[in-house]
Amino acid sequence: MDDLLELTRRVEATHFWFRGFRQFVAPAIAEIAGTRRNLNLLDCGCGTGHNVTTLLQPYGRAFGFDLTPGGLAHAHAVGIRAARGDMSAIPFQSGRFDLVTSFDVMQYVADDEEVMGELARVLKPGGGLVVTAAALDVLRGGHAETWPERRRYTTARMRSIVESAGLKVDRVTYLFASLFPAMLAVRMASRVESNALARRMGGPLDQPAGRRPQSSPADWEMQVPAAPINAALTCMLSGEAAISRYVPMPVGSSVLIVARK
């Protein structure tokens, strides 16, 4: 887990995926904040802390928490107010925050309904929530084999748990629809290769994630492509981000939901 955080830290400022991610979520945060710059903001599962510094700090006092010692070390290294904590028992009092975020963490938690209740608990009345999570079981693989996922989401599932926590959904959409065909092809090819290798080794087919006899896919997925390719993919995702603010995407590798208390 700490290895993946370190890989993330090295590339998240420049890799097209992270640039695209910020294009998707930054407008949602800006819309909730409006003209206010004195908000209390919380990032749940803050990881390296990059999202706290780039997305939250411009709007006020930003805090974070993470369960992993590596995540806390990265956050403290860049000067973030961060605590150690579990998303099922957030270490802050109820009704404290104007904006709560959680980026690509929900797929790892044991009880997502309990966690969503905690996110809602620490929000002020009228406060906003911005959450992203991994989408669609057909895309399971990649980082899921290095950092095992418990589930992936549809927009309907994400809407359901947010509404069950008593929050009002403003917007829900898939993200990275423009990358979906390529990602699906890569996942299918990886499964075929993994099953073929398992046959040769005499193991069962479709072994659980994390037990397949193959090298970590995180290594190549977290490499920044050549500059022209990286720039082209960043531009493509920027275009999708602009469109998805008004037209929900039908598929994608992530789900974005924006809600209010």
Confidence of residue 216 (pLDDT cuts 50, 70, 90): very low
pLDDT at position 52 is 96
- Spatial separation of the C-alpha atoms in residues 60 and 39, rounded to whole Å: 5
Residue 55 has pLDDT above 70, yes or no: yes
- Domain 2-260, what fold? Rossmann fold (3.40.50)
Structure tokens at 256: 């974005």
- The strand pair at 97-103 and 254-260 is best described as unpaired
- Spatial separation of the C-alpha atoms in residues 3 and 218, rounded to whole Å: 10
109 phi and psi angles, rounded to 5 deg = -75, 155
Residue 159 has pLDDT above 50, yes or no: yes
- Spatial separation of the C-alpha atoms in residues 191 and 142, rounded to whole Å: 10
- Spatial separation of the C-alpha atoms in residues 93 and 96, rounded to whole Å: 6
Range with the largest mean pLDDT of 138-152, 175-189, 202-216: 175-189
Reported as a single tens digit per residue, the pLDDT across 194-203 is 666 666 766 5
Helix (H) or strand (E) holding 100: strand 97-103
Confidence of residue 168 (pLDDT cuts 50, 70, 90): very high
Residue 255 has pLDDT above 70, yes or no: yes
- Spatial separation of the C-alpha atoms in residues 69 and 46, rounded to whole Å: 12
Residues 116/165, Cβ–Cβ less than 8 Å: yes
Confidence of residue 17 (pLDDT cuts 50, 70, 90): very high
- Return the domain boundaries, the chain: 2-260
- Spatial separation of the C-alpha atoms in residues 223 and 210, rounded to whole Å: 21
